[in-house]
Chains A and B, each alone.
Chain A
C-alpha cells in the first residue's frame, strides 16, 4: 500500500532555479492538493485539483504552477525559486463523498526544499 508518494524527499535550489515536485497516489482519488508548511503557520493550501485536467488556486498560489494530466499524478512547479519558497511541501489526496466520515485526506511524507 503505497498511498501518496512524493519525490524528491529533499532538494536544495539556488535562487532563480526551477524544479518540479511530483506527487503520485494509487487510491484512485479524485481530489489532490499541494500544501506548504512553515513553522507557526500550519498547512497552507497552494493549489488543488478536483479531477484529471483541472486545477484551482488555493490560499498561497503565487510563484507556483501545477498540472494534473493523469488522475494519479499532481505536479507542482517552481519556475524561478525564491528564498521565501523554502518550506516543507506536502501533497494529499481524497475522495469526496457525501459520507463526511470518509472525506479523509491522505498525505505524503513531504519534500523539504531549501532555496539559497
Chain B
C-alpha cells in the first residue's frame, strides 16, 4: 500500500526564518510527486511536480527537491503571506489517482 507521510504536522516560523517541510513516501514505481498549497477556506492549488530523484523546482521563496525516498519543500526567508497548509501527493505505478499526505500547517509570524 502506498504511504505518504508529511512532517511536521505544524510549523511556526518568524518572518525571515528559513525552514523545510518533509514528505516521505513508500510507493512502488513513483510516477510523480506533487506539492499543493491550501489557504484557509479554499481548495488546494498546485505548486510543483517532481518526478526524478535529484530534480529541483523553484518558485519565489519556495524550492522543492526530490530523492528516492522523500521530498523537501524549502522555504527561504518566509513572509506572513506564505502561511498556509502545504500538501504532498504521489502518483505511482499505473494509476493516475494520487495519494495525499496529511499536510503541514505553516504559520509565519511578522
Contacts and interface: CB of A to CB of B under 8 A. Distances in A.
Interface of A: 4, 31, 33, 40-43, 45, 48, 50, 58, 90, 92, 94, 96, 100-101, 103-110
Nearest to B51: A100
22 contacts: A31-B96, A31-B97, A40-B9, A40-B102, A42-B100, A43-B87, A45-B97, A58-B97, A92-B43, A94-B96, A100-B31, A100-B49, A101-B32, A101-B49, A101-B51, A103-B91, A104-B46, A105-B34, A107-B43, A107-B44, A109-B42, A110-B43
Contacts of B46: 104-106
Contacts of B34: 103-105
Contacts of A90: 43-44
B87 A48 contact: no
Nearest 5 pairs between A and B by C-beta?
A107-B43, A42-B102, A100-B32, A96-B96, A43-B100
Interface residues of B, number: 23
A41 B44 CA distance: 15
B32 A103 contact: yes
Contacts of A100: 31-32, 49, 51, 91
Contacts of B41: 109-110
B7 to A, nearest CB: 13
Interface in B20-43: 31-32, 34, 36, 41-43
A106 B32 CA distance: 16
B42 A103 contact: no
Contacts of B44: 43, 90, 105, 107
A92 B42 CA distance: 12
Task: Name, among A33, A41, A58, A104, the residue most crowded by chain B CB atoms within 10 Å (CB to CB).
Answer: A104
A96 B34 CA distance: 14
Contacts of A58: 97
Nearest to B9: A40
A34 B51 CA distance: 25
